[in-house]
Chains A and B, each alone.
Chain A
Amino acid sequence: MSALLDAPWYARSVVDGRTSERVAFEEDVLALADDVWRVARRLGRDVTEAEDLVQETYARAIRAWHSYESGTNLRAWLLRILHNLAIDQARKRQRSPEPEPLEEGDYYLYNRLEASGADAIDRLIDQLSQGPLLAALGALPVIFKEVVVLVDLGDFSYQEAADVLEVPIGTVMSRLHRGRRALKKALADGSVPA
């Protein structure tokens, strides 16, 4: 019990009236707060929206904790709840379906940079600073953004991302390709002279 006495005041109260399994589950989901936050921060439009998303995710997770199958991927289970919330939110915000970014051919950026001279990519790499990168990511439609966030920020495998998003692995790959391409296009449009 010394661990409990050493714990901060807010941690000490959690055992009241709850089974040890439930308390263990709470500790496991709380240990994933940074992972959930990083995804929510990119899916929400600002800090407040991200905080609301995370709180609602945890509220739902705790309500549904019995449906979590012990030993399966808890991070994916938790992020699936967040994904469903974010998709609902995006639908409410915008009644029409998500636009598909970039109708140009696959080699848009390649051709564009090639036409701009050999050092165009070097210039682009030099300019990969926080502001434009976050703006470009933020501007992606949510279905592309969340794949990029899961794979590129969360280091999820294609299969894990497919589990979170409940889509086939091929859909993950094509959304990832389109999402990254849209990101590069936004960055190139901002830094490569037309």
Chain B
Amino acid sequence: MSTHIASCAEAETRLQSYVDRVLTPAEVAQIEEHLLLCPPCARCYQLERDIRAQLKRVCDEPCPESLKVRLRNLCAECDCADAD
């Protein structure tokens, strides 16, 4: 019984689970073996990883301080449902 990944198509279907770290150790070993032997799939994996890292970087924008002040006031002013 072979545990090798038979094709790039099969590797691609597992890439998402690999990127999200939800594979079992045995599945991780299989996809890593394939990525080591197959440069095009390794590039696809790199792309997945880089898109994710870059997305995080460009979207890392903290809540504006002025909005935080408004939220705090909004919390303080809302007296609804606090009686029970």
Point out residues on A near B: beta carbons under 8 Å: 10-11, 13-14, 16-19, 22, 26, 29-30, 33-34, 36-38, 41-42, 51, 54-55, 58-59, 62-66, 106-107, 109-110, 113-114, 118, 121-122, 124-125, 128, 130, 133-134, 137, 148-149, 151-153, 158, 173, 176-177, 180, 183-184, 187
A184 and B47: CB pair below 8 A? yes
For B76, give the chain A residue with the smallest CB separation. A14
For B13, give the chain A residue with the smallest CB separation. A106
CB A188 to nearest CB in B, in angstroms, measures: 9
Interface secondary structure of A, over-half rule: helix
Complex Cα spacing A107 to B76, Å: 52
B81 and A110: CB pair below 8 A? no
Complex Cα spacing A100 to B1, Å: 39
Complex Cα spacing A190 to B48, Å: 17
Q: Number of B residues contacting the other chain (C-beta, 8 Å)?
A: 43
Complex Cα spacing A16 to B70, Å: 17
Point out residues on B near A: beta carbons under 8 Å: 8-9, 12-13, 16, 20, 22, 39-40, 43-44, 46-48, 50-52, 54-56, 58-64, 67-76, 78-82, 84
B72 and A11: CB pair below 8 A? yes
Residues of A within 8 A of B63 (CB): 33-34, 36-37, 54
Residues of A within 8 A of B73 (CB): 10
Q: Give the 4 A-B residue pairs with the shortest CB-CB distance, closest first.
A: A37-B63, A121-B43, A26-B75, A33-B63
Contact of A130 among B58, B70, B79 (CB under 8 A): B58
Complex Cα spacing A125 to B53, Å: 11
Among B8, B13, B64, the most chain A Cβ lie within 10 Å of the Cβ of B64
Residues of A within 8 A of B82 (CB): 17-19, 22, 65
| Interchain residue pairs with CB less than 8 A apart (12) | A14-B75, A17-B79, A18-B82, A26-B76, A30-B71, A37-B64, A113-B43, A121-B44, A153-B56, A180-B16, A180-B48, A180-B51
